[in-house]
Amino acid sequence: MINHTYIIYSFAGSVLGIILITIFIKLGFVSQAGDKAKLYLLTLFLPVLIYIGYIWVIKKPCTVELLHNDSFLSRLCAIGYWFLDYLIPILVHILILVLLKTLISAWYARTLIKRYTIVDKNIYPTVMNSVETLCDKCNIKIPQLIIIPKTSIKAFVFGFRSHYLVLSQGLIESLTEDELLMVLAHEISHLKRKDFLKNWLSVFFRDIMFFNPLVYWLFNRYLAEIEKRADNDALELYNNPSDYALTLIKLYKIKARTTFSDYLLASVNPYPSFFAGTSVLKDRVENILIFNNSKTSANRIYVRYLNGFIILVTLIILAFIC
């Protein structure tokens, strides 16, 4: 059951998370793309998870309603009720659309696998050898390779149990062997870090909080950071920032216009490309050019402390807001 608290938690939790992450970044506690991505993803998930815990599991009553006062918090509650009157019918339709999108994705993924033959190593030996080398370095299972006969530029991974790497013919023909290797290293990073699953979860949480513009900002920041993290992972394997940046810019320049079939491809992976989006191109190129192979991510325990701090503060404040 959805009540007014869901609306309040969504907005308040997002605001709190954004403020805390901004402070951590400004103070230099977090600087690496991977660490930022974890914080953005946590803040995207947290309001809904806390709502489920407080309202569905603990069945916590509205704190403000119990006080019966005319404070700022009681007005906030009133806003939540007002939003709820208008949003519940829309939310039901949004959930149906989310389910429909998931079914379309599953259908098109199966279609993709059936339509295009899994590539044998003998057909594309250079590509397959590169993939095997990268997977060996990253200590992950080798994905099955699918080549789609399109002139457009496509490269992405998908799959939960079985993993697939999809490349377009146009991409392979447009790149030198070294350039293609850099693109493959980027995609293998997404595979290693299970970004496909995280992307789908982030899309789900974004969609069920469709009324909150802040979650779209968090979602976009998360996606931008995982792209930069994949760039960094690729550069750790092949430390050549200038060539990597030039490859990225080159592919942006020759990328064909989006077609309907491209939208279907996008349904398989909600962020389905090495290119990610022109809005983050400048940010990615700057990140690539300042790459330093000696820089490492913050200590894992340290990042967990920051995550724990965000969770604790959000739990406490949301408990008293509504």
Residue 67 has pLDDT above 80, yes or no: no
Per residue in 110-160, pLDDT (tens digit) is 888 888 877 877 888 889 999 999 999 999 999 999 998 877 788 889 888
| Model confidence at 65: pLDDT above 60 | no
Residues 10-26: what's their mean pLDDT?
95
Q: What is the pLDDT of residues 219-258, one digit of tens each?
A: 999 999 999 999 999 999 988 999 999 999 988 887 655 5
The predicted pLDDT at position 71 comes to 66
Report the chain's terminal Cα–Cα distance, integer Å: 16
Q: Give whole-number Cα distances, 242 to 207, 228, 248, 306, in Å.
A: 37, 15, 10, 33
Q: Check pLDDT > 60 for residue 95.
A: yes
pLDDT of res. 4: 73
* Neighbouring C-beta atoms of residue 263, cutoff 10 Å: 10
pLDDT digits (tens, 9 = 90+) for 287-298: 999 887 655 555
Query: Could you tell me the pTM of the whole model?
Result: 0.87
Q: Contact at 8 Å (CB) between 52 and 5?
A: no
84 token code pair: 């709820």
More confident site: 289 or 70:
289
Among 39-43, 66-70, 119-123, 270-274, which range has the highest average pLDDT? 39-43
In three-state secondary structure terms, 163 is: coil
**Residue 75 amino acid letter:** R
pLDDT category of residue 66 using cuts at 50, 70 and 90: low
* 20 close to 313: Cβ distance less than 8 angstroms: yes
Tell me, what amino acid is at 298? A
The beta strand positions in 19-72, using DSSP E, are: none
Tell me the C-alpha distance between 153 and 172, whole Å. 9
Residue 170, pLDDT above cutoff 80: yes
pLDDT-wise least confident of 51-65, 100-114, 207-221: 51-65
Q: How far from 108 is each of 96, 99, 145, 194, 263, CA to CA, in Å?
A: 18, 14, 16, 20, 11
Mean of the per-residue pLDDT values for the chain? Answer: 84
Residues 161-182 have a mean pLDDT of: 91
What percent of the chain clears pLDDT 90, i.e. is strictly above it? 43
User: Residue 25 — very low, low, confident or very high, per pLDDT cuts 50/70/90?
Assistant: very high
| Residue 236 pLDDT | 92
- Can you tell me the distance from the alpha carbon of 230 to that of 284, in angstroms, rounded to the nearest whole number? 10
294 touches 239 (CB < 8 A): no
